[in-house]
Amino acid sequence: MKQTDRNIIAPLLFTLIFCGITFGQSIHDPEERLFQYGARAGSFAGAYVSEMYDISSMYWNPSSISQMQRRTIVWNYQQGWNGRSKTELAAFPLTSGYTTSIALGVNAAQLLISDKSGNDRMTAVYGIDCALSFKIAPTFSAGILGSIKTHSMKNGSEWNASSSIGLLYAPSPEISYGMVFSGIGNTISFVTKDDSIFMVQSQLPKRLHLGLTMRFPSARSERIFSIILSNDKTFGQTGIRYNGGLEWSLSEFFDLRAGYVVSPTYAGAKYGLGTRTGGIQFDYALSPSTATNRFHEFTFAIVL
């Protein structure tokens, strides 16, 4: 595709995508994005189970670390639009062998929880995550992600553990497929009673995620666009959620991104951009729609 074609098509395409923000419904996104990291994934509306972009991909599909396009160390910062939630993450590969790969992530979060009187209580969350992936064949891998977190408030602390398992099949550089089963384990819920807030253990919802990524052309240095699609089913709930994202590489150093999520009860758009030079990558994601979780997110990566 000629450079003049990019200059014409890209603005038109992103104008159409940005118009999608007006179609969001005023219903809050029920799936918290607090511990789902990566600005690139955020700009794709979470359509990321088939991606193997960098180490942050392990949070969407742990099997991806055996097929990573780039070995990276990642720092990620996410802040809720209203400032009531903040998270930080550092993730890095421990080993990267031909058949077995291991990656580690550490994270911290601050949450403001309101009681029935409207008083805010600060909650601190600290966690550690470990992903283990096995390359069963050159184009096929399986993996598991385990997470342990502690939630602390003035009236005590609670621990929870969770995990997910995934598969990734990449038959060629142009295409990859992903499948993840998540929701194994428990989480911490906050219950208000009078002027008190209590932390209680609750079961995570079981979810099945399926995804597809298409890239053109296959060589990263010549990449023009990537299309990412996924859907997930929450067992015990009606309907399926659909996610989609598009990345347009305007130059060797700059990408524009947009994504959209649709479920039976809400819909909303996400946007982002990425810049890179040498072995350094910076990504930014924005979720402005009132129909979904609104956030800013930054990812800084160093290629090893």
Q: Could you list the residue range(s) of the whole structural domain that residue 288 is in?
A: 3-303
Number of domains composing the chain? 1
Count of CA atoms in the C-beta half-sphere (13 A) of 25: 11
Specify the CATH number for the domain of residue 234: 2.40.160.60
Measuring CA to CA, how many Å separate 135 from each of 95, 98, 160? Answer: 13, 7, 29
State phi, psi for 46 to the nearest 5 degrees: 80, 10
Count of CA atoms in the C-beta half-sphere (13 A) of 284: 8
Question: Would you give the DSSP letter of residue 19?
Answer: H
Tell me the C-alpha distance between 103 and 302, whole Å: 15
In the three-class reduction of DSSP (H, G, I as helix; E, B as strand; rest coil), residue 8 is classed as helix
In the three-class reduction of DSSP (H, G, I as helix; E, B as strand; rest coil), residue 279 is classed as coil
| pLDDT by 10s per residue, the chain, length 304 | 444 444 434 443 443 343 343 333 333 333 456 678 899 999 999 999 999 888 999 999 999 999 887 788 999 999 988 888 899 999 999 887 678 999 999 999 998 887 777 778 888 999 999 999 999 999 999 999 999 999 888 778 889 999 999 999 999 989 999 999 999 999 887 777 777 777 888 888 899 999 999 999 877 667 789 999 999 999 988 999 999 999 999 888 999 999 999 988 888 999 999 999 888 999 999 999 887 788 999 999 999 8
